[in-house]
Amino acid sequence: MQGPVGSNPPSTDSHCPYCALQCAQRLGGHPVAAEPRDFPTNRGGMCQKGWTSADLLRTPDRLARPLRRTSEGFEEVSWDEALDDVAARVLALRAEHGPDAAAVFGGGGLTNEKAYQLGKFARLALRTRLVDYNGRFCMSAAAAAANRSLGIDRGLPFPLTDLQDADAVLLLGSNLADTMPPAVQHLAAVRERGGLAVVDPRRSATARLADDRAGIHLSLRPGTDLALLQGLLHVVLGEGLADVAYLRDRVEGVEEVRRSVAQWWPERVASVTGVPAGDLRRVAHLLADASPHRGGRGAFVLTGRGAEQHVDGSQTVGAAIALALALGLPGSRRGGYGAITGQGNGQGGREHGQKADQLPGYRSIEDDEARAHVAEVWGVTPDDIPRSGVPAVQLLSSLGVDGGPRALFVHGSNLVVSAPRASAVRERLQALDLLVVCDVVPSETALLADYVLPVTQWAEEDGTMTSLEGRVLRRRRAVTPPPGVRDELWVWAELARRLDAPGTWSTDASEVFDELARASAGGRADYSGLSHARLDTGEALYWPCPSADHPGTPRLFTDGFPTADGRARMVPATVTGPDDDVRPDAPVHLVTGRLLQHYQSGAQTRRVTQLRDAAPQAHVEMHPSLAARIGLDGAEPVRVTSARGSMVATARVSPDVPPEVVFVPFHFAGADLVNALTNDATDPVSGMPEFKVCAVTVERVDVAESMLHPSQEAVS
């Protein structure tokens, strides 16, 4: 599985392979190393993951040859042998079960070119409608709400640097200090003005930034973000704090929302959320006083996964948008609503064809005009393009069952660690007739595959990424990949040829981008004015960018909203609470999240020695009162059990979590796999699963018992 890294040029400008902040970095030296470059989002900074990112190029277990599963394990095979067999098996399954016998699961870390080509490959080469990606677990709730209320989904519809001038920032469910440390510097001025409000059950690293006179931390009960936002809207609309002229001129649905929040007075919100009524009023007035219509420097409402990964996630984001609209923020140069995109290309990855219901340019696959446009670019007829598929959780649960897909292609995702109810996902993958995984390392998902195909990683390929604020960035090849490794564009072209797919299948990233640009023309995410050549002349441009002479669009909504009537919409919400809430036999809330040292499923960062040594395994963070109640003396093993499974990890006692809450990071596999416990119930609008809260029991475990690698099978 190991292959040497080839030669590399002296120095190459690129961007970090991890989160959507996409810190600018320079790669060079022997061996190659990464150092930060100055760029508006990271301002010359990088986190520990960015500094050590080049270590990924030298990981000892790097995949370098195609692998085929045998009864005795994996064996190396040639590319021709692997692709011939994969294509033959797909054709046989299609003949027996129809085109939906094959499915595709993509990833938010793929370049724009790969995300685009993967959607095209699924629909034209595999002829399946069943394609979705791990961005469904990341941005789907925010995307659904933004499309419904604002007419477009771009994580931040304004430059991140706008935060530097604000008087107030409300941050719901995002621990920026651990997930995107260089972004925290943009909050320095608002902290100096005492205007940072952080909503999080835990006193996270970011919540601590709001201590003392820097702002306020609202520690709410898990799963009650929507009730909190309803309360803030109640105060803003009921106490004369709203921008009345803005609402009159630019927003629909105001009176319906006013009626829906009338019952959420602060004292009632306090009884549901645990946030004192006085703190709620303080934050509402803080935001209002910072808003332009009251003469403030600016106010921003930002959401992250902590508020979004719930069965009411799209409603929660809708309420956050409604709050921003009530204050007259979207479209102002001094405020707005934004969603903190997580994955490196979480924004671009969902714009160009990986989602079950979308075509390139963020077009609906059910729209006949969009289908005709994309079909012309692809050189096919609209009838050659399948209709909508199903969201990720539904897709995964159908694998290997009667009438479901018999084959799955996985690109840029480690499903058996990152998916909710992960043990059930493992079972479904094992039930397939064919599992093909393209990866750079033998991830936990790759180790289940029938074929593992070694592909290039970030510093070995050309392409583009789209950051959390809608900037399209150039990713440049800095090193030569190991011999035997292939770019996925080449893999799909070779499979498309073997599957007799229509259309053209370039393996050149710049050519694929040009085709993407044509396919996106006229869509909400319009890249038609961009090209590799144009991006190479500058650092980045914001979409939409509809022509070669267009300067890009840093700020959306300044002249209206891209809706049918040009007006935004407030949408009433109904508070229901978590799907799997605490009860006498499961009295503790489990919440999950990230650590500073790790990223997503940990398949990359757990292979970097410095990061692994700093955080080698999962832990269970709990309050001293809970630790005392279950008889803990300190850092001892505990078992956490939900209705879906259990895990054992070492307790970490801290007052930073509420007494009836435990926190577990989600980067780890094996006995540390917390997603064996999480709930796969989904938001009915977006398909977002409820990762962020479920009911569990917590019990002390004997050290000897903890060494037995407890089962993660379902316990009920």
Q: What is the 3-state secondary structure (H, E, C) of 2-65?
A: CCCCCCCCCEEEEECCCCCCCCEEEEECCCCEEEECCCCCCCCCCCHHHHCHHHHHHCCCCCCC
The CATH 2.20.25.90 portion of the chain extends over 11-58
Dist. CA 53–CA 440, nearest whole Å? 14
pLDDT-based confidence at residue 709 (cuts at 50, 70, 90): very low
User: Can you tell me the mean pLDDT for 25-34?
Assistant: 95
Right CATH for 140-339 from 2.40.30.10, 3.40.50.300, 2.40.170.20, 3.40.228.10: 3.40.228.10
DSSP structure class, residue 136: G
Residues 565-609 pLDDT 10s: 999 999 999 999 999 999 999 999 999 999 999 999 999 999 999
What amino acid occupies position 232?
Answer: L
Burial of 170 (0-12, 13-18, 19+ CB in 10 A): buried
Please tell me the predicted confidence (pLDDT) of residue 4. Answer: 41
Q: What is the mean pLDDT of the chain?
A: 95
CATH class of 11-58: mainly beta
Instruction: Output phi, psi for 591, to 5 deg.
Output: -120, 150
Look up the pTM and report it: 0.96
Q: What is the distance between the alpha carbons of residues 297 and 169, in angstroms, rounded to a whole number?
A: 11
CATH number of the domain located at residue range(s) 588-706 in this protein:
2.40.40.20
Q: What is the mean pLDDT of residues 371-399?
A: 98
Distances (CA, A) of 6 to 29, 35, 64, 478: 13, 20, 12, 10
Cα separation values, 261 from 126, 130, 195, 573, 584, Å: 48, 39, 24, 8, 30
CA 523/CA 488 separation, integer angstroms: 26
Where do you find CATH 3.40.50.740 in the chain? 67-136+345-542
In a 10 Å sphere around its CB, with 0-12 CB exposed, 13-18 middle and 19+ buried, how is residue 57 labelled?
A: buried
CATH of 67-136+345-542, one of 3.40.30.10, 3.40.50.1100, 3.40.50.740, 2.40.170.20: 3.40.50.740
**What residue spans in the chain does CATH classification 2.40.40.20 cover?**
588-706
84-143: pLDDT as tens digits: 999 999 999 999 999 999 999 999 999 999 999 999 999 999 999 999 999 999 999 999
pLDDT digits (tens, 9 = 90+) for 146-205: 999 999 999 999 999 999 999 999 999 999 999 999 999 999 999 999 999 999 999 999
Given this model, what pLDDT does residue 342 score? Answer: 86
CA–CA separation, 532 and 509 (whole Å): 9
pLDDT, tens digit, 9 for 90 and up, residues 512-561:
999 999 999 999 999 999 999 999 987 689 999 999 999 999 999 999 99
pLDDT of residue 212: 83
* pLDDT at residue 702, as a whole number: 81
CATH 3.40.228.10 domain extents, the chain: 140-339
Give the CB-side neighbour count of residue 271, counting CA atoms within 13 A.
Answer: 5
- Neighbour-count burial of 91, counting CB atoms closer than 10 A to its CB (0-12 exposed, 13-18 middle, 19+ buried): middle
What pLDDT, on the 0 to 100 scale, is given for residue 713? 38
